[in-house]
Structures are given as structure tokens and as C-alpha cells.
Structure 1
Amino acid sequence: MSTVTGPDAAARHNTATAHTAPSQLSLIRTHTKAQLLEQLRIPVAVISSVVFPALVLMFFVVPQPAVTADPMASLESIAQLGVFGVMSAFLFNYGVGVAEDRANPWSSYVRSLPVGALPGILGRAVTGMLFAFMSLLPVLILGALLTSAPDAFTSGDLPWWRVPFAVAVWLLCGLPFLALGLFIGHLCTSKVAVAVTQVVFFPLAFAGGMMLPPLMFPEWLNTLSLFLPSRAARDLSVFALTGEGLHSTTVVCLLAWLLVLGAAALWAARRDQGRRFR
């Protein structure tokens, strides 16, 4: 029996490895599927993140005839609650989810595999985007059925392209909260992350004008909220859906928070990586 050695053997080995090594795309699909299944194993968490914004619409918007009878006021409320849903999905999916993964021995083992961090990061990002999008659907459906929002489009006052444009803006406006969730998840234990995420989420949502329109704020709170990422996300989303409500500082504020929170999330991830995998 002969044995092939030298360059030919190395070439055959490299070819065999290339055929057997999974691609980055297949790894991303695998991580995404695993993240989805992990989330679906906790139906209460999935249902709460998807249904909660719609419940807020039902309890706080629909009972107000002055709002539901006005197409533009209805669209403004829908835009606010769209950001509310995306913000909730990103903060809890990353803030609590990453903290739980850090405490999971299987996740620690997966992170030690020689496939890099990219598939896991993108898999969680796709999962977060999916649940954020799912939180938008009940708000849009109930808003169309129970308010006069569609009248703004059927009358010709607004073009229909603003609806898909607003969905894209909602998801983009969630990026600072994705980074904030990563920051919390890499710094806190799973139990602490739940409490910290809740403490951060509700004040940001209220001061950002997602539960009450900023028009109802006292002057000091309105001025303060203009410097918050939640208010910037809210105003940009309202503008995307209605063409109104954009301040001169909105985009700059949102980008500044994205840079700051993104840098904080990167620092926290590297700190955690250095402590547990050095």
C-alpha cells in the first residue's frame, strides 16, 4: 500500500478540509435557528414582547376618541408604540439573553470553538430583528382596524410608501438599544440583568414620549427628553410615518447615542472575553 506524501498530500488535505468545513452562511443559519428555538422554548417571554405594545395601544390609545378620530394623531401614536416594541425586543433579547448565555456552560463551550464570534453575533441579531418586526405587526394591524390612521393614506394626504419606510426606520432606531442591551448583558449576571433592563427600559420609554406624547410633557421634561435616545428614535419614527415632528437635533442625537452605546458594548464584550477566555 502506497502513501502519498509531500505537496500532493497537503493539497489533498486542504481540498478535503475545504469540502467539509461549514461556510459562514451555514454557521449563521445554525446559530439563528438555535437562538429562535431557545426563545420559543419560553412562550411567555415571546408573547409578552410581541403583544405588550399592542396592549398599550388597546388600553391607552383606543379608548381616546380624540386620538382615534384624528388620522395624524393616530399615526403618531402608532409610531410611538412601534418604537416601544422594537426597544423592548432589543433590550430584553440582548440585555437578558446575553447575560443568560454567559451563565450557560454550553454557550461558553460554543464560544470556544474555532469558528469566530461573527456567526453567533449575527444569529442573535437576526433573531432580535425578527422579534422586533413581530412586535410591530399587532400594532400596525390594530392601528389600521381601530383608529382612523388609514384615512391619512386613502385620502391622498400621505403616500403608502411611508408604511414600509417607517418599519425600516423603526428597526434602525432600535440599534442604540441593541447596543445598550449588549452592554447590560456583558456586565451583569442573568438575575441582575432582568432588573437592570426593566429599570432602564420604562423610564426611557416614558421620557422618550412613547407612553404619552411629548406635547403633554412639562417644559423641563420635554427639554430633557430631547437628549435621550428614546426621544430621538420616537421623533424620527413619527417623521417617517407622518412627515412631521422631526427636530434639528434628532438625527445627531440618535447617531451620537449609537456611537457611545456601541463603544460601551464593545468594551463590555472585550472585558468579558478577556476575563473568561484569556
Structure 2
Amino acid sequence: MSSLTLVHARYQLVELSRIPMAIIGAAFFPAASLFFFVVPNTKGDPAGATLATASMVVFAAMISNLFGHGTGVAEDRSQPWDPYTRTLPIGPAVRFGSRIITGLAMMLFSMVPVVIVAAIFTPATISPVRFLLAIGVVIIVSVPFTMMGLAIGYLLSTKAAIATVQLVFLPLAFAGGLLGGPGEAPGFIETIAPFVPTRGSAELMWATVGDFEINPVSIVSLVVWTVGLAALAFYAYQRDEGRRYH
């Protein structure tokens, strides 16, 4: 990782710090969802609370990356600063890398309230080793949502990106069974769940923090989604570059 990538990431983090509501919003919604959807239903069930908290962690990762990259990139493209940075001899790797680092930092920050709410209001438990593994896993499972956010941000205008993200994130959460633990979603949701990226991400988290057997179909689907979304994000960037700067 180049020092130039870190410089750009630091600039983006400083820029975000000047918009406190954006940071608060990213951290509030997943924690509020945990409080209203999980806390009332997991009292006296440590294993269930732990798995449901893992679901909310994936939910937080999805929201943070879709809003952070989807609306963030689209908004940046509408500002005078973005055309200037495109003229610098840094290449797409630095821009992509700095955005991903910024997104990871915001994503991890958004999970702090989720962990705090789970620790205080639920019987969820996790060993230090599993907790550290979970941090690594959530970074991995955030990749498809990062790519989805980047694709939306580079393909659409600011207004269209905001609307698209709002239309996408809740259906993905419901379809993947994120608003609860394994087996708690309705039957038709459990049928389609293995074919959406949220389910594969959730199952990896469930297996990391608890006793859960992963469905291979969910993991294959997650890999296919990740590769496809990465290709779409690269295409979106190249398309935007060709239309606006060549």
C-alpha cells in the first residue's frame, strides 16, 4: 500500500469528520435495529443473541459501505475537487484504495455501538479469539458491498444513487435473513437467502462467532456476487473516466 493512498484516505476521513451527522447516522441505524429487533427476542438465549448480533454486524457493514461509497462517490463526482484529482498522475489504484480504506474505517466505527448495545442489553457472549476472528471476517464479507457501493456511486448521479441505495439495502437485509439469527426468517426468505450476498456474509459471521454449519451454496453465491460486483465497479469507473475526462 503506497503512502499516497494513505494520504488520500486521511484527507477523506478529515472531510467526513466535518459532517458529524453522516458519521452519527452510519453508527445509529444498525445499533437501533439491534435494539428493536434483537434485544426483545433474545433474553435468556446467549447463543441466539450472539448469532443475531453477528447478523447486525453484517447489516452495519452493508449499510456503511452502500451509503459511504454509493452516495459518497456520487456526491464527490459532482464537486469541483473530483475533476481536479482525476488530473493528478496517481492512477485509479490510489483512488480506489483510499476509498476502500476510508470505508473500512467508517464501517468499523459504525459497529462499535452495535457491540456496546449487544454487550449491555443482550446475553451475547464471545471469546477474545473469536472476537478477533470476527473483525477479520467482517472486513472480508464487506468486499461485495464495497464493490456494490462503488458501482452505484460511479454509475449514477447523487440523487439517483441515494434512491438506489435506499431501495437496495432493506431488501438485501430481509432476503439474507439479517434481521435475526439463523432460521428465524419466514420460509420463502430461507429459500432465496442462499442466492443473495447478504446470506453468505451472514453465514461466515455465524460460523465465526458460534456453532453454525455453513451452506456451500451461500458461499459460492457470495464469491460469484463479489467477482461480478468488482467487475461492475471497475467498469463503472472506466465508463465515468471515459465520459467525463477523455
Both proteins in one fold, TM over 0.5: yes
- Structure 1: how far apart are the matches of 2:20 and 2:61? 18
Aligned to 1:246: 214
Which region of structure 1 is more displaced relative to structure 2, 209-218 or 94-103? 209-218
- Structure 2: how far apart are the matches of 1:170 and 1:221? 23
Matching of residue 194 in structure 1 with residue 171 in structure 2: no
The root-mean-square deviation of aligned C-alpha atoms, in Å, is: 1.5
Give the counterpart letter for 2:77 in structure 1. Answer: R
Within the candidate set 219, 231, 239, 1:271 is matched to 239
Aligned to 2:195: 227
Aligned to 1:163: 131
Matching of residue 101 in structure 1 with residue 76 in structure 2: yes
Judged with a 3 Å threshold, the aligned counterparts in structure 2 of structure 1 residues 132 and 106 are, in CA distance, closer, same or farther, namely same
Matching of residue 38 in structure 1 with residue 6 in structure 2: no
Aligned to 1:19: none
Matching of residue 28 in structure 1 with residue 30 in structure 2: no
- Structure 2: how far apart are the matches of 1:29 and 1:179? 19
Deviation per residue, 1:36-74 (Å, 9 max, x gap): 12212221111011121111111222223xx13111001
3-state SS, counterpart of residue 244 of structure 1:
coil
Give the counterpart letter for 1:217 in structure 2. Answer: A
Matching of residue 148 in structure 1 with residue 148 in structure 2: no
Aligned to 2:28: 51
TM-score of the pair, normalised by structure 2: 0.95
**Number of residue pairs aligned between Structure 1 and Structure 2:** 246
3-state SS, counterpart of residue 114 of structure 1:
coil
C-alpha contact 1:214 1:222 (8 A) present in aligned 2: no
Deviation per residue, 1:70-99 (Å, 9 max, x gap): 110010111000001111111111101111
C-alpha contact 2:51 2:182 (8 A) present in aligned 1: no
Query: How far does residue 248 in structure 1 lie from its aligned partner after superposition?
Result: 2.0
Matching of residue 83 in structure 1 with residue 58 in structure 2: yes
Which region of structure 1 is more displaced relative to structure 2, 109-118 or 184-193? 109-118
Which region of structure 1 is more displaced relative to structure 2, 85-94 or 113-122? 113-122
Give the counterpart letter for 1:30 in structure 2. Answer: V
Give the counterpart letter for 2:144 in structure 1. Answer: P
3-state SS, counterpart of residue 226 of structure 1:
helix
Structure 1, unpaired ranges of 5+: 1-23, 154-158
- Structure 1: how far apart are the matches of 2:189 and 2:102? 34
Deviation per residue, 1:156-200 (Å, 9 max, x gap): xxx531111112111210100111111111110011100101101
Summarize the alignment of residues 112-131 of structure 1 with structure 2, pairs less than 5 Å apart: 112-131=87-106
Give the percent of matched residue pairs that are identical in Structure 1 and Structure 2. Answer: 38
TM-score of the pair, normalised by structure 1: 0.84
Summarize the alignment of residues 170-209 of structure 1 with structure 2, pairs less than 5 Å apart: 170-209=138-177
- Structure 2: how far apart are the matches of 1:178 and 1:58? 25
Give the counterpart letter for 1:113 in structure 2. Answer: L
Aligned to 2:229: 261
Deviation per residue, 1:236-266 (Å, 9 max, x gap): 1111111314112222111111011111111
C-alpha contact 2:46 2:124 (8 A) present in aligned 1: yes
Query: How far does residue 214 in structure 1 lie from its aligned partner after superposition?
Result: 5.0
3-state SS, counterpart of residue 88 of structure 2:
coil
- Bigger relative contact order (CA 8 A; separation at least 6): 2
3-state SS, counterpart of residue 67 of structure 2:
helix
- Structure 1: how far apart are the matches of 2:244 and 2:86? 10
Aligned to 1:61: 38
C-alpha contact 2:55 2:205 (8 A) present in aligned 1: yes
Query: How far does residue 135 in structure 1 lie from its aligned partner after superposition?
Result: 1.4
